[in-house]
């Protein structure tokens, strides 16, 4: 039995892990950069690439929310943790 780890265009973007979405997005970029894809197919895979990028952004934002920063007291000792503050 062969394990199928590489998603394809039929795989729903919403079900992909960050790593899967990023790997597929990188493959699309490489194909488009080579320039050997017919125009219609280029348009289709570009659209999928946009969806994959959005999925990666979504998953990164979800991870960001989970990150905690160590809060220190004025003397430098650990006070606890606080939610991540972007910016």
Q: Give per-residue pLDDT as tens, 9-64.
A: 668 999 999 999 999 999 999 999 999 999 999 999 999 999 999 999 999 988 87
* Residue 60 domain boundaries: 13-83
Instruction: Please give the tally of structural domains in the chain.
Output: 1
> Is residue 6 situated within a structural domain?
no
Residue 11 DSSP label: S
Measured CA to CA, the distance from residue 28 to residue 46 in angstroms comes to 7
Tokens representing residue 49 in the block: 């690439």
Average pLDDT value for residue range 65-80: 73
Domain membership flag for residue 3 = no
Q: Phi and psi for 79 in degrees, rounded to 5? A: -95, -30
Average pLDDT over residues 71-75: 74
Name the H helices within the chain. 18-34, 39-66
User: What was the pLDDT predicted at 85?
Assistant: 67
Q: DSSP E strands: which ranges in the chain?
A: 68-72, 78-83
What one-character DSSP code corresponds to residue 35? T
Residue 63 lies in a domain: yes
Give yes or no for residue 65 having a pLDDT over 70.
Answer: yes
């Amino acid at each position: 039995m062969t394990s199928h780890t590489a998603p394809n265009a039929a795989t729903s973007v919403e079900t992909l892990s960050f790593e899967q979405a990023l790997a597929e997005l990188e493959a699309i970029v490489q194909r488009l950069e080579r320039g050997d894809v017919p125009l219609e197919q280029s348009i289709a895979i570009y659209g999928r690439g946009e969806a994959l990028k959005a999925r990666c952004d979504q998953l990164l934002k979800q991870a960001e929310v989970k990150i905690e920063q160590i809060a220190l007291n004025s003397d430098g000792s650990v006070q606890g943790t606080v939610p991540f503050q972007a910016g």
